[in-house]
Structure formats: structure tokens, C-alpha cells
Structure 1
């Protein structure tokens, strides 16, 4: 990892149990607070609360956010690879990259919520087949980004979520700019060791991969442990109908304290 990598804070705005006007209001507030990233998620039904409650689709929201916001990065935590053709995903991502002026993060994963698959007519398969499809799709997405006209405004950062040691972390080593983990400090330390082994096998410098973690249910002491292990992107989730940002404000203050105390990088 470089001498100084700033801590960043993302806020995942779950697109459930709220009107779109409330979601729009919330992303405006999150950007105004100074968060680094606004995430949503890629599902078709709520993941908590009333199963048939209000819910909105991920990519169309991200396109709206790209126009609405001006400073914050945006992305899904995470896109489900199974729901869309790989080359279409590349084109959608490139388009939102342009709309946002280079603030789009392509967060992606293999998918897991079976109801989405069943009700929208996608083949659920197995974890193994979905991971194989993710691997294949990322190769196609990267190839499309290299040839599409116009090209993306920047190298679109790829965020991959998950911690499977045989397939997921290999895919992370090969493709990811950001790895998102849900692990506690003890598990994260082990997973980082496995990721390091995969990076060696594929010839990747592990320091190129930003470590991203969840703050839900974490204490400051645990966040400090995750920081000491190398995590630099921390995400807190909020859900409708109210989208309470109290904890986000607290974690933004923690982020700022880490960055103020960090050494200034050499010029």
C-alpha cells in the first residue's frame, strides 16, 4: 500500500421501503455531508422488512444520481452479473461514467438472492456456475471498454464483493481495483493472506487493490482493527423509509480524524 492512502466513507442507500423522492433527497444529503461514495444495491425486492415493500431498480437510479450529483462517486454494492449481458453492462457502465464525469464505480458480484432470479426468469444455477459466469463477464467487459466508442473517461474502477477463497479471491486478484469484504478483523486478516497468495499466482501487485469493508454493527475499536489491516474504504448502510444518517455523520467524523492524523504524502 502507498505511504498514505486516505480513508474514504461510502453510504449505501438501500432502494427499499421509500418513495424515489426520498431516495433523491437522501443522496443529496449524503453528498452534502461530504461522503466519498453513494452506493445502492442491485435487487428487485427488499432484502429486509416487508418482502413486497417499495423497491426500485439499481442501474436507472445510478443514471439519475450521475446527473443529480457533482462530487460524490456512485455505484452499486453490488451489481448482479447474472441479470444483464456482459457487453451491455460494459456499455451501461461507460455511459454512466460519461454522465457523471468520471465518478462511476463498477461494483459487481456473482449474485445470490434467489427470489430475484425466480421472479424475473433468470437461471439461478449454483454458486460455482455464477462465479464462472462473473469471471467470463469481466473479461468481456474489460474487452468492450477497450474498444467501445467513445471510450470511458477513465479506467473505471472495478469493485468485487465476496470472500470465497477458491474462486472469488482469484477473480479479485485478476480484475478488481477494490475488494469489498463483510469480514470481521480476524477473518479479514486470513482472507487478505489468501488474496495475497492469489495475487502472487496471477502476477498482481496486491497494493493496487483497495480494501473495502462494512461498518454495520461495528464499533470504533473494530474499525481501527480493520484500518490497521489495510482497509481504506468503509461503508455504512441506510434504509428507507427514513434513511437515518446519524451513524453516517459519526463515521464521517472518524474518517476525518484518520485523515488529519495521517502523514502528508511526499510530493
Structure 2
């Protein structure tokens, strides 16, 4: 399966009023982004630790109404914060509001402050990964039972690079795999994912490879494509949400 080259931006919902986030969302759509992500945390990850911050999924519901073309989603939802059946229903609802433009990004979770202040059990990386493993099929089972069902097979994006578990879950359940890896690590982990696909009897070409990027696309873009990546995600933080990098990557996409 051949995937088209696509460009995404993660608008980090920190250090900004919502009006500034909404403005950045609309500017990103106008700039030609294919996907706009936020993230699923309760406190800023950079800058002032107690700075302004907004919740992920209520924001995605608003984004579904405020946009008309881009896909939207979280990069990524923390599995620990919501019951899998509830998350499935939330995703189905945003899918309908958006007219079929939701991507369900999901991961095992890692930011301990979120857990501590909101009363979730942090556990260990192993227990969080085990929870993710049992949540992924439950989400899909709930989608099959909801009335009305989702408007489409909602794409599932799994974020992470753990070779023994996370990439195995990706092979079993995901449509997109997201990595923060450099070029050589991306090649290695993509090969590991291919082997997991072989082990579970799945065509590895079905899984779109996504990678976080920065800098000049003319210096790294084609090498990443050759390594199998086709979805490239830049990031921007509040309050200014500088989208110059997004525009550079969109221009590179359009010139290929």
C-alpha cells in the first residue's frame, strides 16, 4: 500500500487563551495542513509548569465544528485517563461532528504529574502498557456496538517506539504509527514493526509511518520518505503559534 505524503501540525494547548488556539487552528487549515493535532495533558510540558493549559477532547469537539477539511486528533490520547468504552464513544461522537475527520491517537501515558494531580494510578511502564493492550480491542468492540456507528473506520494512531510491546500492539491494531525517532532509529524501528506485522499476518504497508520533524524539509524530507515515513508532524506552542515551519513543510510536499 502506498500512502501519500501528508503534513500535520501539533498545536500544543499550553500558554495561550483559547482564542489564540482557535486562530492557530484556522491558520493551519488555511496553510494546507492535512492533519491538526493537540495533545492530551493537563499541565504544560514546556515553559512555566503552571501556565495556561486546556483539556484535549473537549477541544477536539470544538475543532470538529471550527474546521471543514483537515483531519483532527490528539497526539496522543493517554489511555489511562478514560475508560476505553467511554473513549470509544467520545471518538465516535467527534467523528460525527467532524463529518468523518477524526484520527484516534493513543498511547500508554507517561507524564506523572497528570496522574498525581488528577488521581490516576501511575503504576509502571509495564502496567500502563498492559492497560493499553487490553484497551485497544475494547475500543474497536465498542465502536461496533454503538448506534449510530462511526461514519468510517476511525484511523487508530499508536505513538511510541517500544520494540517488544508498543510496536507489537501497533501491528495488531493501528493504522498509523508515530515516532519521534531520528532517521537511523526510524529505519530500525520500522523494520521491527514490519517483523511484528509478519508475525501477526498483517501487510506492513497498511500502516502509515508518521514522524515528528523540525528544521528544513529539503535537508531531511526525502531521506525520511525513503525510510518509509509519509506523515510529517511539526509542532507549535502558545501563545504565538508560529506556523512558519508548517508552511515550509507544506511547500515541500506540494513541490514533490
CA contact (8 A) 2:68 2:98 kept: yes
**Bigger Cα displacement from structure 2, 73-82 vs 191-200:** 191-200
Match of 1:82 among 80, 83, 108: 80
Match for residue 220 of structure 1? 218
Q: Alignment partner of 1:35: what SS?
A: coil
Measure how far apart 1:188 and its partner are.
0.8
Match of 1:29 among 27, 30, 45: 27
Q: Give matches, 1:1-267, under 5 Å.
A: 1-2=1-2, 5-217=3-215, 220-258=218-256
**Bigger Cα displacement from structure 2, 212-221 vs 234-243:** 212-221
Measure how far apart 1:219 and its partner are.
5.3
Q: Alignment partner of 1:16: what SS?
A: coil
The CA distance in 2 between the partners of 1:186 and 1:68, in whole Å, is: 38
Measure how far apart 1:216 and its partner are.
2.7
TM-score normalised to structure 2 length = 0.98
Cα deviation digits, residues 106-140 of structure 1 (max 9, x gap): 00000000000000000001111101101101110
Structure 1: 5+ residue stretches without partners: 259-267
**Bigger Cα displacement from structure 2, 104-113 vs 215-224:** 215-224
Q: Alignment partner of 1:123: what SS?
A: coil
Match for residue 261 of structure 1? none
Measure how far apart 1:193 and its partner are.
1.1
The list of structure 1 runs, each at least 4 consecutive aligned residues, that deviate by more than 4 angstroms after superposition, is: none
Q: Alignment partner of 2:54: what SS?
A: coil
Q: Alignment partner of 1:220: what SS?
A: helix
Cα deviation digits, residues 226-259 of structure 1 (max 9, x gap): 111111100000000100111111111011122x
Cα deviation digits, residues 28-55 of structure 1 (max 9, x gap): 1111111100100000000000000000
TM-score normalised to structure 1 length = 0.94
